[in-house]
Structures are given as structure tokens and as C-alpha cells.
Amino acid sequence: MDSLTHIAVGACIGELVAGKRLGKKAMVIGALAQSIPDIDCVTSSWMTVASDLLAHRGFTHSILFMLLISPLLAWASKRLFSKQAISFNSWMFIWGVQIFMHLFLDIFNVYGTGLFEPFSHYRVSLNTFFVLDPLFSIWPVIAMVALILLKQTSPVRNKIIMAALGISSLYILNSVYHKLYVDRKIEAGFVKQNMHIDRYFTTPTALNNILWYVVAQSDSGFYIGYRSVLDRKEDIQYRFVAKKDELFNGVADTTELAKLKRFSQGYYVANRYNDTLVFNDLRFGEMTAGLLPDPRFSFYYYLQPKASNDVIIQRGRFCGWDKHVISLFLNRIMGR
């Protein structure tokens, strides 16, 4: 999830579990705790882009990291807040529950979270949320602002937190339900359309959980399509994209390429943009949600010749969006 969501959720949980003992400091500690796993962002200052993609949400997002860092933070907090009657175990819980919640929220989108690092490089991705979902995030953000403004003695503080986290939790359940519904529909469609699929995934398009992006892998490439929860037509119109692995035969930096393939979990294709060889990770969707002719994929990594790959995750996500595309997007969400 995005940083603001983690901070807001952390502040709310911090107030809930320690507000009576620490006052508004509990919100600050909660926001800080929720941000700790993302310290891996500093690796971008010395790693290559391909290495940094794997480092992010790697070890600092693992269960082992949570188990190691929680007692260290509890020990430091016990010393720093020695005047507070809070036990070491309570501090362990205060820090541990926040870091756990950070990991829990991150597994819902496509990036992948290394829960089992360093023992396994498997990335957990439930593909249930877009990385920024305002309908999930708005409630804890509103609650955080309200908690800042309200007096610590206000009797409604916990009610606001429970309401905000309750609504967001219901939204998670709603997203899971939508995903299961869409998956069931497209699996039936594979059979009906006589499509031989090795594996597939679905994930929401930008800022909603109604219109879903579908990637289905076959022997030689991928079928790309979209399914709205509100669609009346059962069949999906798929666009086939060849994998074109042969384009990688002349790549000089095979280590870089191997890291990109590992990061993509095998959902990739090769492309040429004019004279530039490009690696596309299909998991991050298409520019403008595939609504314009000949859409490009949002994730594009310049392999040869070398070019800037800065802000690689973000640079294609909202490229090309204008009033016309937004109108098309809203219509498509509504099943039209």
C-alpha cells in the first residue's frame, strides 16, 4: 500500500492499543512503526534498478525481520519511556502488531511481498488491491485527522477508530468477494472459449475494485483482457501478446535480465520501442487501462541501449490519462 495509508492505519492502531498509556505519542509511534518495513527504499541510492526492485518488499517485509526487530524496538522503547508503566511484552506487542499489519496490507497488491525471506524468494501477492485505493484509505486518514484534532480525553476517539478500521475491513472483504466472482467468471469463460491456459491472475485497475485486469498465460504468450463486476456480457475480448523471448538472446547483461524475470514472476514479454529493447512486466497493467488503441504496458524497462529506468513502477501508471480516457474508464467500470 501507499505510505499515507500505512501511516494512517498505524496512527489509528497505535491510539487503539496504547493511547490510554502514551497519549498522542501512541499515534506517532504507530505511524513510525508502520513505516519501518519501507526503510528498504534507501537501497535505491546504491543498487541498480533491477536489484532494487527485488530489495524492495524483500527482507524488511519478512516474518523473520518482524521477529528480530520487534524485541529490539521494545527494548529501546522500554529504556526511552522508562517512566511509563509499560512492560517489555507490551512494547513487543505495540511494535509487532504494527509491523505485522504493514506486511498484511502489502500482500494484497501485485508487487509481491517477501514474507519468507531469506529462506525463500517466493513473493506473496493476493492481487486484490490496486496499490492506491482511496475507498480503502480515506477512512483511516479521516480518523487520523480527527484524532489529532480531538482532545485525548474525548470519549469518541476509540469509536472513530473502530468505525474507520471497520469500514476499511469491510472493503477488504468486498474486494476479496469481487476477485472470487471475477475469477469464477473468467475460468468459465476459458472453458467456453476453448482457451488452453497454463495459469492466470486478476487484479483491480486503478483506484477501484470493480474493473479487473486479466492476464492469462499460454504456451507462446499471454491473453490480456478486462472484466467488470457489472458486466452483463459473459465473454471477454482478449488481446494476445506474444512473449518473444528470442529478443533477449543478444542481451549483454544477463544478470540484470534474470533479476527482472524473477521479479516479474514469469509474467513478462519482450518488446521493441523503435530501436530500444524493452522488458515489460505485465502485472502492473496497461497504460490507460487498455482503453486506447495499441496500448503499451505500464511497466517498461529499457534493456538495450541503456536509458533511464528511474521511477519505473510509477512512470507508466497514469501516463496518457485525460478527460476522454477518464470518461471511457468510468463507463467501462460500469460495465459499458
Question: Percentage of the chain surpassing pLDDT 70?
Answer: 100
What separation in angstroms does the CA of 269 have from each of 41, 94, 107, 181, 312? 26, 44, 24, 28, 16
**Do you find a cis peptide bond into 295, omega within 30 degrees of 0?**
no
pLDDT above 90: residue 306? no
pLDDT digits (tens, 9 = 90+) for 91-103: 999 999 999 999 9
Mean pLDDT of 101-116: 97
State the Cα torsion 156-158-161-164 to the nearest 10°: -60
Q: Which residue has the higher pLDDT, 310 or 60?
A: 60
Mean pLDDT of 40-60: 92
pLDDT of residue 252: 82
Of 173-177, 224-228, 292-296, the one with minimum mean pLDDT is 292-296
pLDDT of residue 327: 96
DSSP string, 126-137: ---S-SS-HHHH
pLDDT, averaged across the chain:
95
Q: Say which DSSP state 123 is in.
A: P
pLDDT band at 196 (very low <50, low <70, confident <90, very high): very high
pTM of the model: 0.94
pLDDT band at 318 (very low <50, low <70, confident <90, very high): confident
- The answer to whether 261 and 246 have CB atoms below 8 angstroms apart is no
pLDDT digits (tens, 9 = 90+) for 128-161: 999 889 999 999 999 999 999 999 999 999 999 9
